[in-house]
Amino acid sequence: MEGATGVGPVDSLVAWSVGVVAAAGLGTLLWRVLRAVLRIADRVDQAWEDWAGSPERPGVPARPGVMHRLGIHDQRLDDHELRITRVETRLPDDTLP
C-alpha cells in the first residue's frame, strides 16, 4: 500500500478513522435528505387536508373541504342573484342605466 507508514497499528487506525468519518458523513447526508422528505410530505399532507377537509375530532371541530365550501358559495351567489332580480323588477325602467 502506497503512503503507508509501515507501522501496522498506525495504518490500521488511519484506515478505520477514514471509514468512521465516511460512515458519519453518509449518515449525516441521509439524515438531512430524510428530514427534507418528511417536511415536504408534511406540507403535502396539509395541502391535501385543506382540499379534502377533515372530520371532527375530540376538541377539534370539523373543517369542510374546498369543494364543499365552493358549493356553499354557489348557493349564496344564486340567492344574491335572485334577490337582485327581485329588486330590479320593482324598479321603474327609467331609473336603470
CA 97 to mean position of chain CA atoms: 49
Joined grid coordinates for residue 52 = 379534502
Q: Which residue has the cell 354557489?
A: 74
Convert the pLDDT of each residue in 21-37 to its tens digit.
999 999 999 999 999 99
Mean pLDDT calculated for residue range 64-91: 91
Neighbours of 54 (CB within 10 A): 14
**Between 17 and 87, residue with greater pLDDT:** 17
Percent of the chain at pLDDT > 70 equals: 93
Residue 24 backbone phi and psi in degrees, to 5: -65, -40
